[in-house]
Structure 1
Amino acid sequence: MTVRKFPPAPSTLLSRFAVLATIGLVLTGCAAKPASDAARPGWAMAVHGGAGIMDRETMGPDTEASYRAALNAALARGSAILEQGGSALDAVEAVVRGLEDDPQFNAGRGAVFTADGRNELDAAIMDGATLKAGAVAGVTGTRNPITLARTVMESSPHVMLIGAGAERFGAEKGVEQAAPVWFFTERRWQSLLKTLKERGLPIPPRPAGAPPEPAASAAAAGLTEDRKFGTVGVVALDRNGHVAAGTSTGGTTAKLWGRIGDVPIIGAGTYASDESCAVSATGTGEYFIRLGVAREVCNLVKYEGMDLQAAADEVIGRQLTELGGDGGVIAVTPDGQVAWSFNTSGMYRARLVEGGDPVVSIFKGEP
């Protein structure tokens, strides 16, 4: 197995679909598009850390600053690879790995718990140059599921492996493992307990090796309502004109036995093709699966000739919204367009294009 080394993590054309009057939705989008082929940037990338109900009043300044710092660190990690001529695939994996290790996000360490009190992780990665893809679902002992997904893509004849089989394959290929306690965070555990009590479901035992449970007052003080889809994702364009996408998630709090969302389903939550675009999604996965959101955005670019922002807004602002789903996407094209679109009140998001300034946003109304 090839061992990849990553640098350490450092500590908008408005579309014609921007206002969808027929459904009363003001859609939030952001795009960066080169004026001509000559203006195509050498590289570009976008990052998301989940979408949902977000406002400054309930988030608090310290939490907001912490998320903005994490997004800036993600941009720095990815841009360091792309600036040196690294591949879009390497940049995507490296950035997602960093986000999986950050307990602020619902991916890897810090993932939400299932109703059984487990962390079950999904991830996918796709190479736009070759249309090769790898995905894993329901893994519990892999420190960085995105790396396991890439290993499936590069070292197996398959696209998706799940559960114990995926874990065994990863262990045989030398993918780093982690004990269940590595993924544990008190905030996510308390969120699970709150959700299970509200639903009248049984409370599972506290995970082995977890720190002692804090006093009730301390637990309540650290608990904020989980109203976000904490999936993380990255899309990138490299100097060779290739695009790639990667997405990773812990799913939804108190999800039922064996539930799999859109993230590892190629074309739903993750897709990349040099003939159209690369997309990573976040939201209520069941709706993204039914629409094939990631592939649908790319189809509109490829077959309908839409610019990227218009395609993203059409899928998120009209199709997803009319179906009753919520969430968002980030996307990049081989000619350097970068876009995001979401129909929630916020999405952790950031972008950086060669020669430009980083854009880091959380709330609706920001660039």
Structure 2
Amino acid sequence: MDFKHQTTVTLAEVAAAAGVGESTVSRVLRNHGSFSKKTRDRVMEAVEQLGYVPNRIAGTLASAGSRLVAFVIPSLSNIVFPDVLRGASSVLEENQHQAVFSVTDYDPEREEALVAAMLAWRPTAVMLAGFEHTQGTLKMLRATGCRVVELLDLDGSPVDLAVGFSNAAAGRVSAEFLLKRGYRRIGYVGHDLERDTRAGKRFGAFCETLGSAGFPLADREIHVGASSVESGRLGLERLLARQPDLDAVYFSNDDMALGGYFHCLARGISIPSQLAIFGYNGLDIGRVTPQPLSTIRTPRVSTGRVAAELVVANAPPQVIDLGFELIEGATT
């Protein structure tokens, strides 16, 4: 059977079918400018009949002001970043901006390549996680004419706009909370601290706070790779094999902490009387476990929303501290 090559339907073909000019079709599809209901109906009927798909990126590049907003994020498996995207997308859609994203897998060299690729489309803004980037990435961000928004961290110097909270402060508050509860033999289970620099900042401040109080971190178990429930469970198992007398464990995030929680359930370890568990992020699943997880709740959706609002408003360079909330839960 022979198949004919299907060519892309053009704006000119839609205009011809509707009996109007290309500029009128463009106004109708963008819902911007003046046109009658009758004209709109004719254009939309032609669009439906021909199966026309608007080339939004081409339209963006051709316009005087780009409406493309590029997100370069570390992960999609970690719910933190989909939450940020969810918060931003509602604002961007309301203001006729288009969000696109790419994933770095916490690899700074990959981030640099993806930033270069995104900037080639001349977006109105680029949003990234944190302040730690390669020199090449920083050079591109500082030279670009678009807005730059760094998210989910305030411990550093922003290129332009920054929205989030202090990870170092979250680490300190977590340590102070466990010490106040009377825990003294405290361990840590986490994931790759070199790639996830925000987790590294929390861990550093946590250890510093424990040490200053005279109760240095007893031991740590670091999983090389991305965080997950499974790696949290295995990490706690290994840590307790070395340090069975720990009375509390701080986890790099709630995914890891839930893995530790499941390990305790499987081994009959009473929480918190035998072992206290403390996480980070304040995920919904941690709130509905039989014993709600003790954690730090971060404003992920709000971070995305506020960042998008700043971009849409073309706000001057600034830092927005949204803070965080300590959730006492029932695991400490």
Shorter-chain TM range is under 0.3
More strand by share: 1
Higher relative contact order (CA 8 A, sep 6+): 1
* Larger CA Rg, structure 1 vs 2: 2
